[in-house]
Amino acid sequence: MKTAIISDTHGLLRPEALAVLEGSDLIIHAGDIGAPEILSQLAAIAPLHAVRGNNDLDLPWAAALPDHLSFDLNGWPTLLTHDIADVPALLTSAIKLVITGHSHKPLIEWRENCLYLNPGSAGRRRFKLPVTLALLDASRTALEPELIHLLP
């Protein structure tokens, strides 16, 4: 199952990101979306899970989006929230995949038997941080994440 994970678009969905997202079975947006059109464009490519980020809180169109979401990703219990600081209060031992955004810093890290994944920021470059998203191959027996750099 090809899952594309994107975050911190802040109203900018780059053509480079769209090219990578094509052919995804599922797209996950980890918040700071920035504009409702971003969600429409993503949902036109594949089914979509999204949470709002701190920059989406005061935007009327984002009021219906959850702050966190728990779901099953091909047999992997998953927690999606924008800020990793919110994870401890939401985490249970059943969760095997934690997806966050917010920091604009990509992270792929196993912590015991749980994968923590932050795809970084796919929107406007912040400081000297990379512009990235992540692809995740979620089979029944393994999670195989890959960080994709969108700009040199």
Q: Where are the beta strands (DSSP E) in the chain?
A: 2-6, 26-29, 48-50, 68-73, 76-81, 97-99, 107-111, 114-118, 132-138, 143-149
Confidence of residue 146 (pLDDT cuts 50, 70, 90): very high
- Distance separating alpha carbons of residues 79 and 13, to the nearest angstrom: 24
Q: Is the pLDDT of residue 108 over 90?
A: yes
Q: Is the pLDDT of residue 152 over 90?
A: no
Of 1.20.1600.10, 3.60.21.10, 1.10.3720.10, 3.20.20.70, which CATH number belongs to 2-149?
Answer: 3.60.21.10
pLDDT at res. 116: 98
The model's pTM: 0.97
Q: Chain-wide mean pLDDT for the chain?
A: 97
pLDDT at res. 51: 98
- Distance separating alpha carbons of residues 115 and 136, to the nearest angstrom: 11
Q: Is the pLDDT of residue 79 over 90?
A: yes
3-state helix, strand, coil in the chain (%, to 5): 20, 35, 45
Beta-bridge mates of residue 111: 114
Domain layout of the chain by residue ranges: 2-149
Confidence of residue 42 (pLDDT cuts 50, 70, 90): very high
Picking from 70, 40, 73, 38, the residue whose alpha carbon sits closest to that of residue 56 is 38
Token representation of residue 14: 């780059």
Q: Is the pLDDT of residue 126 over 90?
A: no
